[in-house]
């Protein structure tokens, strides 16, 4: 079905509509062979709280943006190459239901669909696109992914020293390696994580030690996202980029 649609007029029109909804806030999306598989509103767990975002699944990229006017205008476009994506289901917890993690080498976050059916459709379509892409390119699935950030609200004290209480003055920071919410003194150092940035990024004291001594931990053994029931995950979304 995907291949049949690839050159159809309907597909080109749908992609042109997505492009026009982003306007100048977006990249050109029409390239030969690209197919729009599906679209919909998902709740993205951001650093401060869950927010509605419009998502578009293409056969090679996942695109999302803020909703200015539903079905008419979107901005803050993000484009994620599907080749590097892995997804993981997230257990329901409280109001956060029907969720899964979207993990990439540069950023990882949780999204939630309105129903269990929608969730399983999204997940199976994403998985199908990723496996088709990998099959075509002969590449291996992405092994490494960025830490899923613990939301600010999950931590009232530093998750490393367990002493510093967060206040408007004593601000929260996120370790780029483990995703923990940590205090300033516990995250004074930076380390080069090439998959996330060309410049050294903020890491906590613990991760700095691990990284700089080259200690080989089992992958992500120190990661919050590894806890099976954790749904409380986030990333540096949009407006949060400057305040880590």
Least distance from Zn ion to the Cβ atom of residue 158, Å: 3
187 neighbors 179 (Cβ within 8 angstroms): no
SS (HEC) of the chain: CHHHHHCCHHHHHHHHHHHHHHHHHCCCCCCCCCCEEEEEEEEEECCCCEEEEEEEEECCEEEEEEEEECCCEEEEEEEEEHHHCEEEEECCECCECCEEEEECCCCEEEEECCCHHHHHHHHHHHHHHHHHHHHHHCCCCCCCCCCEECCHHHCCECCCCCCCECCCCCCCEECCCCCCEECCHHHCCEECCCCCCCCCEECCHHHHHHHHCCCCCCCCCCCHHHCCCCCCCECCCHHHCCCC
Contacts with Zn ion by CB under 5 A: the residue count is: 11
Residues 154-193, interacting with Zn ion (CB under 5 A): 158, 160-161, 164, 175, 177-178, 183, 186
Residues 215-244, interacting with Zn ion (CB under 5 A): none
The residue (of 14 and 220) whose beta carbon lies closer to Zn ion is 220
Selected from 21, 46, 62, 207, the binder of Zn ion by CB under 5 A is 207
Closest CA to 44 of 239, 240, 237, 243: 237
Q: CB under 5 A: which stretch of 30-38, 93-101, 200-208, 212-220 binds Zn ion?
A: 200-208
The residue (of 40 and 219) whose beta carbon lies closer to Zn ion is 219
Least distance from Zn ion to the Cβ atom of residue 201, Å: 11
Q: CB under 5 A: which stretch of 7-15, 39-47, 133-141, 203-211 binds Zn ion?
A: 203-211
Residues 31-70, interacting with Zn ion (CB under 5 A): none
- The angle formed by the CA atoms of residues 39, 42 and 43, to the nearest 5 degrees, is 165
Taken in order 111, 117, 122, 124, is the CA torsion positive or negative?
positive
Least distance from Zn ion to the Cβ atom of residue 181, Å: 9
Least distance from Zn ion to the Cβ atom of residue 54, Å: 32
Least distance from Zn ion to the Cβ atom of residue 208, Å: 8
The residue (of 5 and 161) whose beta carbon lies closer to Zn ion is 161
The residue (of 60 and 236) whose beta carbon lies closer to Zn ion is 236
The residue (of 21 and 178) whose beta carbon lies closer to Zn ion is 178
The residue (of 79 and 161) whose beta carbon lies closer to Zn ion is 161
The residue (of 10 and 215) whose beta carbon lies closer to Zn ion is 215
Binding residues for Zn ion, per CB under 5 A?
A: 158, 160-161, 164, 175, 177-178, 183, 186, 204, 207
């Amino acid at each position: 079905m995907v291949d049949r649609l690839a050159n159809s007029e309907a597909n080109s029109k749908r992609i042109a509509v997505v492009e026009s909804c982003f306007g100048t806030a977006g990249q050109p999306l029409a390239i030969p062979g690209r197919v729009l598989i599906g679209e919909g509103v998902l709740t993205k767990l951001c650093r401060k709280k869950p927010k509605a975002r419009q998502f578009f699944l293409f056969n090679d990229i996942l695109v999302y943006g803020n909703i200015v006017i539903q079905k008419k205008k979107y901005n803050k476009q993000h484009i994620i190459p599907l080749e590097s994506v892995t997804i993981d289901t997230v257990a329901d917890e409280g109001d956060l239901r029907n969720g899964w993690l979207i993990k990439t080498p540069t950023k990882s976050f949780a999204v939630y669909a309105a129903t269990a059916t929608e969730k399983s459709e999204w997940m199976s379509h994403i998985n199908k696109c990723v496996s088709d892409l990998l099959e075509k390119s002969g590449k291996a699935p992405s092994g490494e992914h960025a830490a899923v950030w613990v939301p600010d609200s999950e931590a009232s004290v530093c998750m490393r020293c367990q002493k510093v209480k967060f206040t408007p003055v004593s601000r929260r920071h996120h370790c780029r390696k483990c995703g923990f919410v940590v205090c300033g003194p516990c995250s004074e150092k930076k380390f080069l994580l090439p998959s996330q940035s060309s410049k050294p990024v903020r890491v906590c004291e613990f991760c700095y030690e691990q990284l700089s001594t080259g200690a080989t931990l089992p992958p992500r053994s120190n990661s919050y996202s590894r806890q099976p029931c954790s749904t409380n995950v986030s990333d540096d979304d949009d407006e949060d980029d400057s305040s880590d």
